[in-house]
Chains A and B, each alone.
Chain A
């Protein structure tokens, strides 16, 4: 499975539709103009929290940091137990066990980045080992990165095979495929990679690692949701979407929810099919919720940093 033999027939995938950048960006911008007020705003922000993959992916991560994040995920706002929990926490494989233990008994899932995150530039066997180990440690979800180099070099078969192999290595765990859209260069390639990932078995497609700029943007998210929609039309299978990196404010989060609502409808307005990769976002959302509750604008120090 690790390489394609010479006897293999060429890979033929159905063509992806082309993308017009200007019209795509125009549509995404138009959706940003939806006025989200009062009850809609509160409901949207509460939903956004339940869609969050609270993430820490740093070299300086420690068990303590991960545990703190877990408790924040389970109960984002001390004063209001009806808020949250977040959908998952997202950590490196080494912290899966820690997180799993900290989250025991809660609904919060553990997601782990694997496959030589964030560059993906390691031999496939190593990447697959990475996945298997994370799953063994108890990860419910695996966030893999595709080989952007291969994608840009036109080696779509290689990308496809790696995703398919990773999916297999995931076993029961859900697979989120990170396209690292900021490195793919154009919407056409992002669309192609989205189709490829879904055909190869992705349960979710995800914009970014958060290590590369630009990361998630509204047009990229819209584009990927449209790819999901086409795949759903063709197969009836619902693939999830996760923008990550770059979603920092409550206002942005609501904008993303609008995009989901008006592209894929009610079914996707759920943590099972839409996630935010988030770290800074949560506190801004909490601040806005408090503002709606109290009518007063909040200060950032009113909220715990993690």
Chain B
């Protein structure tokens, strides 16, 4: 018994010594590592202020009411930032639809000229943030920018070009606002003593699932034509890396666009779209990308309030990327109503 006790004691002491040696070794090793890291990667400089990205609802930058977030991280080599993006919820959709609804009548009531000026202002704001937008596009993770892998090394040029096309698209639709009536309205030569005419009018709140790629140009091309005619929008950005979308909403916020006209929510389409499709205050759905059964279900759900649903397939998506693609009435008209007015002509 005694012998065994001694053995045990000795063993314990040896163990403790070994631990001490180990700790010393670790300390030395860590110090060496930190030393090396500091000397190779950093000079003494100010600590950067990282942005807390938020969703854009009612003209305000907000976190998800759910308190949830998801982690976004680009390729480590180019993008050291780790971001917690708010993850939109059913209630965020609900709130956004409400503010979009409340903003709609006054947005539609603005003169087309005024709406055009605001969209032009948006282009100006984007222009002044070109480098930021391009930088953001360039660091987007693969999840966010499909097919990016194959274009390794082209990132920066591609990104700059995408920003440029997106800005030009805003300019294009800016000038569209006050042309819609000229292009779509009619005088109706009815057989009788009545004066009749038909005018395009806004539809209401349009729910959008924006294409995940190209991310900025896709969002701009999905949203901007829809608001030219006086609609307001709730857009779901379902990409894994919506940072560029967030920067774009900062352009929106400084562009004189009234709060609530465009609302952007990040998150998962399968979680958010059904609530948008069922929401009776939403009058139209613009669905981009291959949503599969989710898209079909959204059409079915949308029928409960007879929503105008437009699904854009691959052909439209590839059009977006081209400089003169995604332009024209085809992206505006599906989200307009036509109102016919009759009045007698007599003394």
Which residues of A does B touch, CB under 8 Å? 20-23, 25, 185-188
Instruction: Note all chain A residues with C-beta closer than 8 A to B346.
Output: 20-22, 25
Per-residue interface assignment for chain B, residues 316 to 347, with 1 indicating a CB less than 8 Å from any chain A CB and 0 otherwise: 00000000000000000000000000001111
In this assembly, does B194 line the interface, its C-beta being within 8 Å of a C-beta of chain A?
yes
Asked whether, in the complex, the Cβ of B344 is within 8 Å of the Cβ of A23, the reply is yes
Instruction: Note all chain A residues with C-beta closer than 8 A to B344.
Output: 20-23
* Residue among B194, B344, B346 having the largest count of chain A Cβ atoms under 10 Å: B346
Chain B residue at minimal CB-CB distance from A20: B344
Q: List 13 A-B contacts (CB under 8 A).
A: A20-B344, A20-B346, A21-B344, A21-B347, A22-B193, A22-B194, A22-B344, A22-B345, A22-B346, A23-B344, A25-B193, A25-B346, A185-B347
**Interchain CA distance A148-B345 in the complex, whole Å:** 25
Chain B nearest CB: distance from A187 CB in Å? 7
| Interface contacts beyond A20-B344, A185-B347, A187-B347: sample of 9 additional A-B pairs, CB < 8 Å, sorted by A | A21-B344, A21-B347, A22-B193, A22-B194, A22-B346, A23-B344, A25-B193, A186-B347, A188-B347
Instruction: Note all chain B residues with C-beta closer than 8 A to A188.
Output: 347
Instruction: Note all chain B residues with C-beta closer than 8 A to A185.
Output: 347
How many A-B Cβ pairs are below 8 Å?
A: 17
**Interchain CA distance A303-B194 in the complex, whole Å:** 45
Chain B residue at minimal CB-CB distance from A188: B347
Chain A nearest CB: distance from B331 CB in Å? 40
**Interchain CA distance A188-B346 in the complex, whole Å:** 11
Instruction: Note all chain B residues with C-beta closer than 8 A to A186.
Output: 347
**Interchain CA distance A131-B223 in the complex, whole Å:** 80
Chain A nearest CB: distance from B133 CB in Å? 58
Instruction: Note all chain B residues with C-beta closer than 8 A to A187.
Output: 347
Instruction: Note all chain B residues with C-beta closer than 8 A to A22.
Output: 193-194, 344-346
Instruction: Note all chain B residues with C-beta closer than 8 A to A25.
Output: 193, 346
Chain A nearest CB: distance from B347 CB in Å? 5
Chain A nearest CB: distance from B126 CB in Å? 52
**Interchain CA distance A20-B346 in the complex, whole Å:** 7
Chain B nearest CB: distance from A130 CB in Å? 33
Chain B nearest CB: distance from A22 CB in Å? 3
Closest A-B pairs by Cβ, 5 of them: A21-B346, A22-B344, A22-B346, A186-B347, A22-B193
**Interchain CA distance A22-B190 in the complex, whole Å:** 14
**Interchain CA distance A23-B345 in the complex, whole Å:** 10
Chain B nearest CB: distance from A296 CB in Å? 40
**Interchain CA distance A185-B346 in the complex, whole Å:** 12
Chain B residue at minimal CB-CB distance from A21: B346
* Residue among A22, A25, A186 having the largest count of chain B Cβ atoms under 10 Å: A22
Chain A nearest CB: distance from B217 CB in Å? 52
Chain A nearest CB: distance from B113 CB in Å? 34
Within 8 A of A (CB), among B306-320: none
Instruction: Note all chain B residues with C-beta closer than 8 A to A21.
Output: 344, 346-347
Chain B nearest CB: distance from A191 CB in Å? 12
Chain A residue at minimal CB-CB distance from B344: A22
Per-residue interface assignment for chain B, residues 146 to 164, with 1 indicating a CB less than 8 Å from any chain A CB and 0 otherwise: 0000000000000000000
Chain B nearest CB: distance from A114 CB in Å? 31
Instruction: Note all chain B residues with C-beta closer than 8 A to A20.
Output: 344, 346
**Interchain CA distance A146-B269 in the complex, whole Å:** 78
Instruction: Note all chain A residues with C-beta closer than 8 A to B345.
Output: 22
Instruction: Note all chain A residues with C-beta closer than 8 A to B347.
Output: 21, 185-188
**Interchain CA distance A20-B194 in the complex, whole Å:** 12
**Interchain CA distance A188-B193 in the complex, whole Å:** 18
**Interchain CA distance A188-B347 in the complex, whole Å:** 8
Instruction: Note all chain B residues with C-beta closer than 8 A to A23.
Output: 344
Instruction: Note all chain A residues with C-beta closer than 8 A to B193.
Output: 22, 25
**Interchain CA distance A25-B347 in the complex, whole Å:** 11
**Interchain CA distance A280-B346 in the complex, whole Å:** 31
**Interchain CA distance A187-B347 in the complex, whole Å:** 7
Chain B nearest CB: distance from A184 CB in Å? 11
**Interchain CA distance A20-B343 in the complex, whole Å:** 10
Chain A nearest CB: distance from B193 CB in Å? 5
**Interchain CA distance A186-B345 in the complex, whole Å:** 13
Per-residue interface assignment for chain B, residues 57 to 81, with 1 indicating a CB less than 8 Å from any chain A CB and 0 otherwise: 0000000000000000000000000
Chain B residue at minimal CB-CB distance from A23: B344
**Interchain CA distance A23-B192 in the complex, whole Å:** 11
**Interchain CA distance A186-B347 in the complex, whole Å:** 6
**Interchain CA distance A80-B347 in the complex, whole Å:** 46
Chain A nearest CB: distance from B191 CB in Å? 13
Chain B nearest CB: distance from A31 CB in Å? 18
Chain A nearest CB: distance from B231 CB in Å? 35
**Interchain CA distance A301-B193 in the complex, whole Å:** 41
